[in-house]
């Protein structure tokens, strides 16, 4: 019999609503609230040995304490799995469930969280399994059915798939297929021609939603930065910027110069023919025209450095980090806008 610890919030623990949202993590023996139904679904193979609950306002910030409580559960054979939720679309609760499950997973325990796909906490689970719940607590019963099924699969070390209601990030794991990609491609074409209009090996990617920045209010006084992913560096590439799969970005001063001479600058980007860029580096970084426009008063000033990386097979994670670092740096330096040239 496997031992499960169930994580829920103060509301489902029956302690209270918003008035109790600041309550700290608490350990209770056996199942509580929705855990009772969950325990029935899991019996007789598995049991809920304890419940940990915490107030929504503080839970996501005290995850280590919650994990300590889970580990303190005194039971024969130790804790086998941590289940969290269902959190439905509740943001704070979902975030806590995601973080508790992820932390338990990192601590070497099996873990699963339950929440709706639109719950803003979902991404925080990383690659720790999450199964879909309904949107609201009225959908508790089917949500618990699905969670119980997922717990069963995980405890039997069976794969938890989209067919079982799995949502959130699934790591793309590198494996060897039985057939070559060419053979599988022909098979897939015949499956599609046979009337299956959804078969694929790669689900469509999901990108971040970007909130547009507000317009620059007074451009005539604003400092604007030039930034590029076009791999433009001083000719000797002193910072050894990578030509592909960049892991870093660099900054070079341009405050003292009005233009970029061929031969003094070059692009080391490995993703396109750089002959044009090397002939006239302004084709990557428009410093000459930028200076003109400042002189004419079109905008206040140019930031004294430009930022550069190489956008060629660069991972989204690194690119996201560069973007965050650039934005923070420019904001700190007083720049109000950035013009990014991309190849």
Partner 1 sequence: MLLCNLISIAERVGAPRIVPTRGIPYPTGDPSLTPEAEKEWRRRLLERALEALQTVVHQPTVFQVGPATKAQPDTKAEPETKAEPETKAQEAHA
Partner 2 sequence: MALTRLIHHVRRVGLGQRTTFTDGELTVSTDEAQGILADAALAGVRLSWLSPGESARIVKVLDAVEPRTKGPGGGGIFPGFVGPARPQGDGETHVLRGTAVVTAGFLPRAQEALVDLSGPAAALSPLGATHNLVIEFTPAPDASWEKVDAALRTGSLRLAAWLAEAALDAEPDEIEELPSPSPVRRDRPRVGAITNLQTQGLFKDVFLYGRSFGSSLPTLLDPGELDDGAVVSGQFGHPALKNPTFMHQNHPVVNELRRRHGRDLDFAGLVICPEPVNQADKELVSAFAARVCAAAGFDAALVTKEGGGNADADMALKMDALAELGIEAVGLYAEMAGTDGTGPSIVVAPEKATAMVSTGNYDHRLQLPAVDKALGGDEFALLHIPATEAFEVPTAVVYCALSPLGWGRVTARAG
List residues near partner 2 by CB under 8 A.
126-127, 159, 161-162, 169-186, 188-190, 192-193, 198-207, 243-245, 270-275, 312-313, 315-317
The tokens for 25 are 């993590």
Q: Going by C-beta distance under 8 Å and a sequence separation of 6 or more, which residues neighbour residue 115? A: 85, 86, 87, 88, 89, 90, 93, 94, 97, 98, 121, 122, 130, 132, 133
- Residue 206 as a binder of partner 1 (CB under 8 A): the answer is yes
The tokens for 57 are 């306002």
Size of the site for partner 1 (CB under 8 A): 43
* Contact set for partner 1, span 240-299 (CB under 8 A): 272-277, 279-280, 282-286, 288-290, 292-293, 298-299
| 81-to-66, 122, 143 alpha-carbon distances in Å | 14, 19, 18
Supply the minimum distance, in Å, between the C-beta of residue 81 and partner 2: 18
Q: At what angle do helices 34-42 and 140-155 cross, to 10 degrees?
A: 50
Supply the minimum distance, in Å, between the C-beta of residue 254 and partner 1: 14
Closer CB to partner 1, 131 or 225, in the complex = 225
Closer CB to partner 1, 184 or 272, in the complex = 272
Supply the minimum distance, in Å, between the C-beta of residue 157 and partner 2: 12
Closer CB to partner 1, 5 or 277, in the complex = 277
Q: Which of 136, 162, 213, 324 binds partner 1 (CB under 8 A)?
A: 213
Supply the minimum distance, in Å, between the C-beta of residue 258 and partner 1: 13
Rounded Cα gap, residues 95 and 99, in angstroms? 6
Q: Which does 342 bind (CB under 5 to 8 A by kind): partner 2, partner 1, none?
A: partner 1
DSSP, collapsed to helix, strand or coil, labels residue 73 as coil
Supply the minimum distance, in Å, between the C-beta of residue 266 and partner 1: 13
Closer CB to partner 1, 43 or 213, in the complex = 213
Please give the span between the terminal C-alpha atoms of the chain, in angstroms, as a whole number.
58
Binding span for partner 1 by CB under 8 A among 15-23, 59-67, 165-173, 223-231: 223-231
Residue-wise DSSP of 229-254? SB-EEETT-TT---SSS----EEEE-
User: Scanning the structure block, which residue is given the tokens 């889970």?
Assistant: 70
């Amino acid at each position: 019999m496997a031992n499960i610890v169930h994580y829920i919030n103060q509301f489902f623990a029956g302690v209270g609503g918003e008035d109790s949202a600041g309550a700290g993590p608490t350990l209770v023996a056996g199942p509580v609230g929705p855990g009772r139904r969950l325990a029935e679904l899991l019996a007789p193979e598995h049991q809920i040995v304890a419940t940990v609950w915490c107030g929504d306002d503080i839970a996501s910030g005290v995850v280590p304490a919650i994990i300590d409580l889970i580990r303190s559960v005194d039971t024969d054979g130790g804790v086998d799995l941590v289940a969290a939720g269902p959190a439905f679309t509740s943001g704070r609760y979902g975030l806590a469930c995601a973080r508790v499950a992820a932390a338990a997973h990192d601590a070497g325990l099996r873990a699963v969280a339950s929440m709706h796909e639109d719950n803003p906490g979902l991404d925080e689970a990383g690659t720790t399994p999450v199964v879909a719940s309904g949107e609201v607590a009225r959908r508790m019963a089917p949500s618990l059915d699905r969670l119980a099924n997922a717990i069963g699969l995980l405890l039997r070390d069976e794969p938890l798939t989209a067919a079982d209601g799995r949502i959130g990030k699934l790591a793309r794991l590198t494996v060897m297929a039985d057939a070559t990609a060419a053979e599988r491609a022909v098979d897939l074409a015949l499956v599609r021609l046979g009337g299956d209009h959804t078969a694929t090996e790669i689900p469509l990617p999901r990108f971040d939603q970007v909130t547009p920045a507000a317009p620059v209010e007074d451009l005539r006084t604003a400092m604007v930065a030039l930034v590029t992913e076009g791999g433009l560096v001083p000719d000797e590439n002193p910072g050894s910027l990578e030509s592909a799969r960049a892991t870093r970005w660099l900054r070079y001063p341009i405050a003292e110069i009005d233009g970029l001479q061929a031969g003094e600058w070059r692009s080391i980007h490995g993703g396109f023919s750089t002959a044009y860029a090397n002939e006239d580096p302004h084709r990557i970084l428009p410093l000459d025209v930028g200076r003109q426009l400042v002189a004419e008063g079109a905008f206040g000033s140019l930031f004294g450095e430009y930022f550069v990386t190489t956008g060629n097979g660069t991972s989204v994670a690194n690119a996201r980090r560069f973007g965050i670092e650039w934005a923070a740096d420019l904001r700190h330096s007083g720049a109000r806008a950035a013009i990014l040239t991309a190849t």
